[in-house]
Every structure is written in C-alpha cells, then in structure tokens.
Amino acid sequence: MWSCPEGFPNWTDSWRALDGDFFSRWNRGELTFEEFATRLAADVGIGFDDACAHMKNCCESIRFFEHAWATARAHLMPQAIVTVNPDLFTRFVVPNYALDSVFDTIVTSWQEGTEDKAELCEIALDRLGGSDPAEALLIDNIEANVDAWRARGGQAYLFVGDDEFARSEWSLPSL
C-alpha cells in the first residue's frame, strides 16, 4: 500500500499518518474496507472510488517470495494462512491468488476480532484438526509473534528473507 497513485504523492505519508488505533480497529474487523477508504481518501484528497481502486490494485500486485511460495504451493502437510490483516485481504488478496486452493484454512484477524497471532494460530490449529501446538509451525517475520507461539509450546521460524528460508529445514530442497 506504500505506492502512490498517479497524481497523489501524499498517499504514503497520509497512510503512515493514520494512527495505530485506526489500523488496529480495521485489523480487528471493527472497520470495513469502505470505512477505512473513506478516511484515507479524505486525508489524501483523492476520490473514494480512486482510493478503493488503488488499494485493490495493490492487493492484486503482490510479489511473493520465490522459495517460500514454492514451499507453500507444494502443500506437503496441512497448512493455514494466519494473518493480522483487514477485510481487504479476504476480499481481494485471497481470490486473486486463489489462496484457498493452496491453504486448508485461512485465519484472519478481522474475522476473529483479535490481533494476537498466537491466538490466531490456536484457531488455525483447531481448524486443521490439531490440538498440540508442538505439532504446528509458525513462519512469521515478526519476532514477537514467533516468541509468543513458542511460549505456547509451538514451533516457529523467524522469516528474515527468502534466501535464508531456502537454506532452512522448512524449505523445499530445491526449486
């Protein structure tokens, strides 16, 4: 979402200027995509429809990490997406990339009403038919999330980059 729509160089600054509670409310499902877009459009000085179109375009222009995505697509074990994200993730990202055909379940903070990644992991584990966190691996790029899942007895890998992931035990042997 950092890229600016043509003619609106203040988009990124306006996005960053939104307070954290506003983002948290969106991530917890207390605000809809349209409510968020209304506020952002007003702050940027862009039309509502243009703001929505730009956010949708950003969701449909994601570049995946090569090794991590290949491992996910291989679907060698039951797997879930567990993400702290607002409703735009489910509305635009999931269908655009057919994520529901790659993952057995998708657990999002906006649907569950919490930004607690470890709690979201517990929900995913349950939906996958498991009960023991030690049998579940969280791959995450936020150290606090990795630590929280480990504190519940889960396995975790701190994702710091695709090259490092390719060398890890969790990656496919080769592409």
Would residue 18 count as lying in a domain? yes
For residues 114 and 75, membership in a common domain is answered with yes
Would residue 173 count as lying in a domain? no
Would residue 171 count as lying in a domain? no
For residues 51 and 81, membership in a common domain is answered with no
For residues 88 and 55, membership in a common domain is answered with no
Q: What is the CATH number of the domain that holds 71?
A: 3.40.50.1000
- Give me the mean pLDDT over the 76-80 stretch: 94
Domain that holds residue 157: 66-166
Beta strand extents in the chain (DSSP E only)? 80-83, 105-108, 137-140, 155-158
For residues 32 and 78, membership in a common domain is answered with no
For residues 21 and 93, membership in a common domain is answered with no
Would residue 123 count as lying in a domain? yes
Would residue 120 count as lying in a domain? yes
Domain-ending residue, one of 23, 44, 59: 59
Long-range contacts of 18-26 (CB under 8 A, 24+ apart): 18/43, 24/115, 26/86, 26/87, 26/110
Would residue 174 count as lying in a domain? no
Residue 107, pLDDT above cutoff 90: yes
- Whole-number mean pLDDT of the chain? 94
For residues 83 and 54, membership in a common domain is answered with no
Residue 5, pLDDT above cutoff 60: yes
Model confidence at 174, pLDDT cuts 50, 70, 90, reads low
For residues 111 and 144, membership in a common domain is answered with yes
Would residue 79 count as lying in a domain? yes
pLDDT at 166: 93
**Three-state DSSP string of 4-35:** CCCCCCCHHHHHHHCCHHHHHHHHCCCCCHHH
The conformation of residue 141, written as its DSSP 8-state character, comes to: S
For residues 54 and 77, membership in a common domain is answered with no
For residues 45 and 117, membership in a common domain is answered with no
Would residue 4 count as lying in a domain? no
For residues 48 and 129, membership in a common domain is answered with no
HSE at residue 168, side-chain half, CA atoms within 13 A, is 16
pLDDT at 157: 96
Condensed to tens digits (0 to 9), the pLDDT of residues 89-105 reads: 999 999 999 999 999 99
Residue 69, phi then psi, degrees to nearest 5: -70, -40
For residues 71 and 119, membership in a common domain is answered with yes
Q: Please give the model's pTM, rounded to 2 decimal places.
A: 0.92
For residues 70 and 115, membership in a common domain is answered with yes
The conformation of residue 90, written as its DSSP 8-state character, comes to: I
**How far, in Å, CA of 117 to CA of 29, rounded?**
15
pLDDT at 69: 95
Number of domains in the chain: 2
Condensed to tens digits (0 to 9), the pLDDT of residues 32-72 reads: 999 999 998 998 899 999 999 999 999 999 999 999 999 99
